[in-house]
């Protein structure tokens, strides 16, 4: 009974671990954005979010907050907010976020987000607001940065599958051990019953 409980517990832990790996895969080939953007206080900033063309008709939005699941939507689709707006070039597969009259409070973590069934596609962007006199960073993603980003994605996906296969092997090994223990117990019980019948 105890070994069965351990087996069930290990199975549940394996499933939850694989689910966590899948759920926390933030970067995706479907959506990419500059990881770090620096702009001057009081100025405007434009941030391009490149996406796969299959998502051209999906709703896009710009979200603020360190944790994606808890982020606050700043602007959604074509609905311009007080100081932020989104323009979507569906032919090029790029939606551009524009923020004006930048304040110190705008210095934060943001997310380019595409609404999709199930879990949304999202890419993290760090926006840093500097004082005047500091040169802002270029927000246009280069081919090398995109290739590097996709390389990181593929590396993580490969590692995730390796871990997944490893967990399955561990689960299978545990199942075999439990099965052998139960078989040994049945064999021992059968022999014990035979001995009892002989002495009766």
pLDDT tens, position by position, 36-95: 999 999 999 999 999 999 999 999 999 999 999 999 999 998 788 889 999 999 999 999
Token code pair at residue 61: 């939005």
Q: What is the DSSP letter of 69?
A: G
Q: How many CB atoms lie within 10 A of CB 174?
A: 17
The pLDDT value given to residue 32: 93
- Cα distance between residue 30 and residue 32, in whole Å: 7
User: How far from the centroid of its chain's Cα atoms is residue 19's Cα?
Assistant: 11
93 in Cβ contact with 56 (< 8 Å):
yes
Paired strand residues for 136: none
Among 174, 164, 159, which residue's Cα sits nearest to residue 11?
A: 174
pLDDT category, 145, cuts 50, 70, 90? very low
- Cα distance between residue 162 and residue 168, in whole Å: 10
> Model's pTM, two decimal places?
0.58
Torsion of CA 193, 195, 198, 199, to 10 degrees: -110
Q: pLDDT: is 68 or 173 the higher one?
A: 68
- Cα distance between residue 155 and residue 168, in whole Å: 20
The pLDDT value given to residue 8: 52
Q: 171 in helix, strand or coil?
A: helix
The pLDDT value given to residue 4: 52
Helices 143-199/2-23 angle, 10° precision: 170
136 in Cβ contact with 128 (< 8 Å):
no
3 in Cβ contact with 181 (< 8 Å):
yes
- Which span out of 5-14, 77-86, 147-156 was modeled with the highest average pLDDT? 77-86
- The number of CA neighbours under 13 Å toward the Cβ of 24 is 8
């Amino acid at each position: 009974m105890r070994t069965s409980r351990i087996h069930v517990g290990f199975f549940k832990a394996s499933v939850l671990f694989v689910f966590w790996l899948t759920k926390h895969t933030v970067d995706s080939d479907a959506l990419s954005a500059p990881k770090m953007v620096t702009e001057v206080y009081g100025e405007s900033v434009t941030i391009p979010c490149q996406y796969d063309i299959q998502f051209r008709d999906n709703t896009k939005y710009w979200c603020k907050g360190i944790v994606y699941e808890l982020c606050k939507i700043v602007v959604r689709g074509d609905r311009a907010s007080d100081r932020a707006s989104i323009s979507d070039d569906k032919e090029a597969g790029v939606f551009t976020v524009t923020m004006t009259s930048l304040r110190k409070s705008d210095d934060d973590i943001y997310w380019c987000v595409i609404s999709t069934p199930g879990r949304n596609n999202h890419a993290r962007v760090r926006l840093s607001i500097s004082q005047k006199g500091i040169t802002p960073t270029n927000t246009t993603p280069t081919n090398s940065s995109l290739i590097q980003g996709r390389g990181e994605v593929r590396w993580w996906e490969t590692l995730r599958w390796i871990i997944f296969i490893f967990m399955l092997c561990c689960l299978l090994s545990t199942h075999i051990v439990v099965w052998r223990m139960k078989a040994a117990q049945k064999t021992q019980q059968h022999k014990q019953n035979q001995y009892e019948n002989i002495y009766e």
